[in-house]
Amino acid sequence: MTGSSMTLDQILVEALALMFLYSTPYLFAALGEVFAQRSGVLNLGVEGIMLMGAFSGIYVISSKGLGQEPMVGLLVAMLVGGLMGLAMAVVSVTFKAEQGISGIGFTLFGLGLSSLLFKSLAGGVITAQGEGFQAVTIPILSDLPVIGKIFFQQNVLVYVAFALVPISVWILNRTTWGLQIRAVGQNPAAADAMGVNVDRVRYSTVILGGVLAGIAGASLSIAVTPIFQENMTAGRGFIAVALVYFGGWSPWRVMAGALLFAIANNLQIWAQILDVQIVGQSIPPNLLIMAPYILTIAVLVFARQRKRLEPAALTKPFMRGEN
């Protein structure tokens, strides 16, 4: 190993801290997808929603936008994500469209619209004003050796993402809404007979999924890499959907998956920084960039054992008296 003045320990700490930062976009998007899928809707439009969230979030706080407060950018991204979630809900719940294909439609729409807006509104270059989301150091805890740097000097989005994991578990398992979500995802006809409004529950989860995908996009453009590029999500939205399968629809295991993929992302970054060599030659960067995608396929093969956990009504539109 060459090309670095840091000690190996310092590099490791840095890499672990980055792992949490890079896992946030995956985590937000995948948690949103957990809600949608637990209610029986496969939202494959996450990728497009993330792109729109990423663009709108950073555009709002660019020099052509509204100011430099990152929270405003985040709120706009949530709003845009929620609106796209609403549109997805109309298509998949009210119009009962095939969910895999309509999701691809939303992905194309988000990809095209974010590129179009990027070029026509922002002229192809966006730089955020201000400092973006700053690291929030937690008093006392952040001073702990090693752990302090890894866990307690992150930006606010990282804390929120990880706090959402137990909150999601609690909502799904301990609240009436959560019970309704699970009922609607397992047996919509029975839920309907019990007086649950199947469509309304599904609308709520798909919109929530959209809001979280919007945050996921904004966390990418505001917090992780403070720029916007066309198609900057590069498949992360689809990876988030894969994480839901990998995690067996459980927020805790989805979190583990998000951390795993953050490592795969960092693998590429760190191999470049550390200049890892194989037989005297550095690994071509393009091959390292492949890592998360190959890992996704591997993870999906592994996840087939979780198939029994799949919500029974996943991808099946509900039509009273027909299912």
Minimum CB distance to another protein smaller for 45 or for 73: 45
Toward another protein, which CB reaches closer, 115 or 153?
A: 115
Which residue's CB is nearer to another protein, number 99 or number 168? 99
* DSSP annotation of 63: T
Rounded Cα distance between 232 and 214, Å, is 14
Q: Are 211 and 32 in contact (CB under 8 A)?
A: yes
Inter-axis angle of helices 291-302 and 236-246, nearest 10:
30
CB of 140 to another protein, least distance (A): 43
Compute the least distance from the CB of residue 8 to another protein, in Å.
29
Rounded least distance, CB 289 to another protein, Å:
5
Residue placing its CB nearer to another protein in the complex, 147 or 298: 298
Cβ proximity to another protein, 27 vs 244, nearer residue: 244
Do 209 and 215 touch, CB atoms closer than 8 A?
A: no
4: amino acid identity, one letter? S
Nearest to another protein of 140, 301 (CB atom): 301
Is residue 241 within 8 Å of 49, Cβ to Cβ?
no
- E strand or H helix at 282: strand 281-282
Q: Which is nearer to another protein, 105 or 248 (CB)?
A: 105
- In the complex, least distance from residue 221 CB atom to another protein, rounded to whole angstroms: 17
Q: How far is the CB of 66 from another protein (least distance, A)?
A: 17
> How many other C-beta atoms are found inside a 10 Å radius of the C-beta of residue 205?
28
Give me 67's structure tokens.
């100011």
Residue 29, amino acid: A
Q: What is the rounded distance in angstroms from the CA atom of residue 150 to the CA atom of residue 120?
A: 40
- Min dist. Cβ of residue 36 to another protein (A): 15
In the complex, minimum distance from the CB of residue 147 to another protein, in angstroms, rounded to a whole number: 34
Radius of gyration of the chain, Cα coordinates, nearest whole angstrom = 20
DSSP for 286-322, written as a single string: HHHHTHHHHHHHHHHHHGGGGGGGS-TTTT----TTT
Q: Is 159 exposed, middle or buried (0-12, 13-18, 19+ CB in 10 A)?
A: middle
Binding residues for another protein, per CB under 8 A? 44, 48, 87, 90-91, 95-98, 100-102, 104-113, 115-117, 119-121, 230, 234-235, 238-239, 241-242, 245, 284, 286-287, 289-290, 293-294, 296-297, 300-301, 304, 307, 315
At closest approach, how far in Å is the CB of 179 from another protein?
A: 27
Cβ(219)–Cβ(28) below 8 Å: yes
**Nearer Cβ to another protein, position 5 or 286?**
286
